[in-house]
Amino acid sequence: MRQIIALGGGGFGSSLENLKLDEYLLSLCAAAKPKVCFIPTASGDSLDYIAKFEAAYGSLGAETSVFQLFRSQTWTGMPEELLLDQDLIFVGGGSTMNMMLLWQSWGIDTILRKAYDQGTILAGISAGANIWFEQCTTDSLGPGIQVMPCLGWLPGSFTPHYDSEPERKPLLRQMLREQTIAPGYAATDGAAVHFVNEEFHKVVTDRDGAAAFEVDRERDTVL
């Protein structure tokens, strides 16, 4: 079974006091002490972000590791050895474009595809959610929100931060009307969209008012 969970925002990076989405991710793992690897490429391997991950997932009983492309001297083996030995891989937020270019240069996307196909659960937030879809809306291409192609493992497009960044919704609606972006999904902060075998499965939220939507040229449909 192949699983991807796309978070619109929230999670441990926003608050260590509300780990409901992270708890949900761990509940999907069969192991009593799941192996969880954090990939913070999109943030330039932010040390603060890494510390938050280790604090959050350590407190939840996971066996944690971090894969840092910017600090290859920290590797104790080759990337494939680490990434194919995980129950859950969580991809952090930041620049979608920079992350995708680096992954493709290093072959990390190929390794992650192997992990996905063998049943490792993949999850990500913001840029780390965008990356799995055919397209996304992102601010990593310069000023403003733009459309960019992504890995295409999930069909359609993804838009994170659908409530916390006011420009996202009207721009997405315009892009959909003009057919410059494919129909797909949007999620507010605190909402996660769970896919099983590339099909929509369910939405999980960590707060009142959080939601995810199926979006097309005509409307937003609450999932």
Contact 124, 92 (CB under 8 A): yes
Residue 73's domain comprises: 3-222
pLDDT tops 80 at residue 128: yes
SS3 content of the chain, % helix, strand, coil (to 5): 30, 30, 40
Token pair of 219, please?
Answer: 């409307």
Helix 108-117 / helix 96-106 crossing angle, nearest 10 deg: 90
pLDDT tops 90 at residue 163: no
How confident is the model over 134-162, as a mean pLDDT? 93
Spell out the residues 6+ positions from residue 92 whose beta carbon is closer than 8 angstroms to its own.
Answer: 13, 38, 39, 40, 41, 42, 43, 46, 49, 53, 124, 125, 126, 127, 128
Cα–Cα distance for residue pair 39/108, rounded to 1 Å: 10
**What is the per-residue DSSP string for 104-147?**
HHHTHHHHHHHHHHTT-EEEEETHHHHTTEEEEEESTTSSS-EE
More confident residue, 67 or 11: 67
Amino acid of residue 109:
D
**CATH code at position 164:** 3.40.50.880
Look at the chain and report how many structural domains it folds into.
1
State the pLDDT at residue 53: 98
State the pLDDT at residue 202: 98
Cα–Cα distance for residue pair 124/154, rounded to 1 Å: 13
What are the phi and psi torsion angles at 75 (to 5°)?
-65, 140
What sign for the dihedral angle of Cα 175, 167, 11, 128?
positive
How confident is the model over 30-38, as a mean pLDDT? 97
Contact 213, 222 (CB under 8 A): yes
State the pLDDT at residue 13: 87
From 25, 2, 39, 6, select the one nearest 129 (Cα to Cα).
6
What are the phi and psi torsion angles at 12 (to 5°)?
-65, -25
Cα–Cα distance for residue pair 116/24, rounded to 1 Å: 18
pLDDT tops 80 at residue 102: yes
Catalytic residue numbers, as ranges? 126, 161
